Amino acid sequence: MLIGNLLPALHERLSAATSESRIVIKQDNAPAQIAEADAVFAEAARASGCNVELCNQPPNSPDMNCNDLGLFSAVQAQQRKKRSRTIDELIEAGISSY
C-alpha cells in the first residue's frame, strides 16, 4: 500500500519538494504497519526520489496520536455525503473521500 500507492502520489503531488524536503509518515503503531526501518520501503522511497521517514506513534498514547485528532472523522463525514448502494461503491466513496 505505501510503496504502490503512497509513494507515487507523494511524488506526483509534491514533486518539487520531495527530494529536498523531509516527509514524515506517522503510523499508529498497529501490528499491521511496517517497521520504521523497513529496508524495502526505504529503497522504494529512495528510488522514487522522496525523502520519506516512517514514524510510529507511541502505543496507547491518545495525547500523542495525531491520527485520531480529526482526520478519520473528517474522512468519514465526507464519505457519508456520498450515497453507496454496494460494497464497491462504499469502498470508492471512502477512497475518494480520503
DSSP for 4-70 reads IIIHHHHHHHSTTTTTTSEEEEEE---TTSPPTT-HHHHHHHHHHT-EEEEEEPPTT-TTT-GGGTT
pLDDT number for residue 28: 75
5-53 tens-digit pLDDT:
778 887 777 766 556 678 888 887 777 778 888 889 888 888 877 788 8
pLDDT digits (tens, 9 = 90+) for 54-70: 888 776 666 666 666 67
Q: Whole-prediction pTM value?
A: 0.52
What are the residue ranges spanned by the domains of the chain? 1-60, 65-98
pLDDT at 88: 93
pLDDT category, 89, cuts 50, 70, 90?
very high
